[in-house]
Amino acid sequence: MVDVQAVRERVRDDIGRLVHRGMSVECYWRAVSDALAGCVPSEGSCLMTMDPATMLPTAEFVENGLSADAFSRLVEIELREPDYTKWVDLAREGTAAASLSEATAGDLDLSRRQREVRRPEGYADELRVVLSSSTGTWGALTVFRETDRPYFSVPEVRLLSSLTGLLSDGLRRALLLEAASTGHTDTGMLVLDPDDGVDLANREAERWVDELDVGERAGTRLPLVVRSVARQARAIAGGRERVAEVGPARARVRTRTGRWAIVRASLLGQGPLAPVAVLLEAARPAEMAPLLADMYGLTQRERRVTELVAQGLSTREIGNRLHLAAYTVQDHLKAIFAKSGTGSRGDLVARLFFDRRATSLTAPSVIPDGSHGLDDRPSPAGPLA
């Protein structure tokens, strides 16, 4: 008998290590497809990268996909016509993963793209995964099955939903690495040797290192946060540590000028002598919301209420969503206002979401996995997450 939980943990560890391997986008997609094949079998897959500001497709990587004409029609439906499980709808609803069979209750031909494009090309069910983070939607992964193959099961959808945080982190890292290496970004990139010596640094990285400061300890060449995430990436990619136990090779840190930065690290290759790429960029407001929630000591329930406030839901709607009485929601709001020092819903959203965009406050601080805890225990705060 297959131990489903053991399979999930193994896949999570495998993908966690891929995230920290510093691959190109195409290599990352192929490696992820291979890692998923054993637990979510399919006849093909497609990774689309997107502009996070508009969710318009920017590039695609396909195995056993549609013909060019069929794909053009599919994109037209996706952008201009109503249909089931469209990317923009999934992202707006906060749905991490969904199968067409579940959305149509098994009648796939209710979907326009299935009737007009996919079925004529020999395809049946598809499982879509939105690759979103607090900074936006950077891409989308689709795995699909051919005619006469079983539909995707609910456990398979749940598994991919639980992996979206990792998958999204890996895609964003791959995109940042490619952009930084070609000089088309304001992201700083350092390439470190096994002794943390700097083999390569772009101009933006030099500015970030100056702003972070290396401290006064004799012989120190790099800020502590850079060395920390680099060592974490080596441990994870080398299989010595599990991501779920030690956390990702990523940290938020405040610079000498008072702004916040995100520092990420990925191993470029395999083995103890492989170099590490460290990426440095300004933290987006949405990335800081969970840290501010930690600082205010919001409980998991209060975080969930805050998320729904930021989405514009009324007290009654929040109560219906969380199965709470209206007066209970009001009690939570009073506690949230008191802890955050705000006096209204507008003030609260402005304080936590500087750019007025809702993000997840309830996802675990280590790896977002698409689930939300609703207990009333406060989350531990820490200087680096």
Structure confidence by residue, pLDDT tens digits, 135-178: 678 899 999 999 999 999 999 999 999 898 889 989 988 888 88
Average pLDDT over residues 61-89: 88
Give CB contacts under 8 A, 24+ apart, made by 158-161: 158/97, 159/8, 159/11, 159/39, 159/40, 160/36, 160/40, 160/96, 160/97, 160/127, 160/129, 161/96, 161/97, 161/129, 161/369, 161/370
Q: What is the DSSP letter of 249?
A: S
Amino acid symbol at 315: T
pLDDT at 183 over 70: no
Which pLDDT band, with edges at 50, 70 and 90, does 378 fall under? Answer: very low
Q: For residues 374 and 366, what is the distance between their CA atoms, to the nearest angstrom?
A: 17
**CATH top-level class of 284-385:** mainly alpha
Q: For residues 129 and 143, what is the distance between their CA atoms, to the nearest angstrom?
A: 9
Instruction: Return the percentage of the chain with pLDDT > 90, whole number.
Output: 30
Q: What is the DSSP letter of 383?
A: S
Q: For residues 116 and 52, what is the distance between their CA atoms, to the nearest angstrom?
A: 28
Q: Are domains 187-283 and 284-385 of this chain identical in fold?
A: no
Average pLDDT over residues 41-57: 85
Which three-class secondary structure state does DSSP give residue 48? strand
Which three-class secondary structure state does DSSP give residue 138? strand
Which three-class secondary structure state does DSSP give residue 63? strand
CB 288 within 8 A of CB 303: no
HSE-up (13 A, CA, CB side) for residue 192: 26
Average pLDDT over residues 228-235: 88
Q: For residues 99 and 153, what is the distance between their CA atoms, to the nearest angstrom?
A: 8
Scanning the chain, the segments in alpha helix (DSSP H) are 4-19, 25-37, 68-80, 87-93, 100-103, 112-113, 154-162, 164-182, 203-212, 224-237, 243-246, 285-296, 300-310, 315-322, 326-340, 345-352
Q: For residues 204 and 201, what is the distance between their CA atoms, to the nearest angstrom?
A: 8
- For position 240, what pLDDT does the model report? 63
Residue 149's region, left for phi above 0, alpha for psi from -120 to 50, else beta, is beta
- For position 36, what pLDDT does the model report? 92
| More confident of the two residues 370 and 224 | 224
Q: For residues 77 and 58, what is the distance between their CA atoms, to the nearest angstrom?
A: 16
pLDDT at 293 over 80: no
Give domain limits for the chain: 4-176, 187-283, 284-385
Q: What is the DSSP letter of 299?
A: B
- State pTM to two decimals: 0.62
pLDDT at 357 over 50: no
CB 96 within 8 A of CB 55: no
- For position 363, what pLDDT does the model report? 46
CATH topology of domain 4-176: Beta-Lactamase (3.30.450)
Beta-bridge partner residues of 129:
97, 141
CATH topology of domain 187-283: Beta-Lactamase (3.30.450)
Comparing 54-58, 82-86, 331-335, which segment has the lowest mean pLDDT? 54-58
